[in-house]
Amino acid sequence: MARIGAPPETHYDLPAELAAALGQCVASFGWLEEIIKRTIYALDRARLADDLTEEELQAWLARIGGIADDSMGTLIEQLDAAMRRHPGLRDRNKITDRLGEIRLERNLLCHASWRPTERKTHWHPAFVSSRGEVQRQPLSIEDLERIREATVEVGTRVLRVMRATGEEGYWAGDDEP
């Protein structure tokens, strides 16, 4: 079988502007994950009884602390479950669906190997999803900016959910030096 293109061991440096746009996308994904974690905390905290024993409170804090290392998919599932338990929240399905789309874009952008294309403004993220789906379309700076903007937009919607609880979404350790 003949090879099409460079061998896989060939490393390509991304153009500076594309690399910067990709970095901004990745940073927005990290921000979104933090917002999801804080919202889960706020939704769960709003439901806690006021008369918890110290032992019950510590057990809850340990469980909440455990989400710090969860994957984006698990965080979305936990956020969806927390929103279901909190009455009066609107757009839960729209938020969860959009987060699922962002998760797929996150996986693509964070795990792809980048290859140049014939069009200097577009690069191909070589990536196969866990479902065997191959990324066929190259991406441009404009595509990356659109993904970043969509990530920030859904993060802002998640923030509104957090604020609707009356909790500010503080994370354990925020008040420590």
Quote the strand ranges of 36-141, DSSP E. 113-116, 122-126, 139-140
The answer to whether 122 and 109 are in contact (CB under 8 A) is no
Long-range contacts of 123-129 (CB under 8 A, 24+ apart): 123/14, 123/18, 129/104
Burial tier of 136 (Cβ tally within 10 Å: 0-12, 13-18, 19+): exposed
Residue 85 token pair: 């338990």
Sign of CA dihedral 25, 29, 30, 31: positive
Q: What is the pLDDT of residue 171?
A: 57
Q: Which residues contact 117 (CB under 8 A, 6 or more apart)?
A: 123, 124, 138
- Across the beta sheet with 113-116, the strand order is 113-116, 122-126, 139-140
Confidence of residue 3 (pLDDT cuts 50, 70, 90): very low
Cα separation, 92 vs 7, in Å, equals 45
User: What does DSSP assign to residue 134?
Assistant: B
Q: What is the pLDDT of residue 1?
A: 44
Q: Is the pLDDT of residue 2 over 50?
A: no
- pTM for the whole thing? 0.83
Element (H, E) at 35: helix 16-47
Please give the average per-residue pLDDT across 50-75, as a whole number.
77
User: Which residue ranges make up each domain of the chain?
Assistant: 18-102+141-165
Q: Give residue-wise pLDDT tens across range 110-152.
A: 988 889 999 989 998 988 877 777 888 999 999 999 999 999 9
Q: Give residue-wise pLDDT tens across range 16-50.
A: 999 999 999 999 999 999 899 888 888 887 667 67
What percent of the chain is modeled with pLDDT above 70? Answer: 86
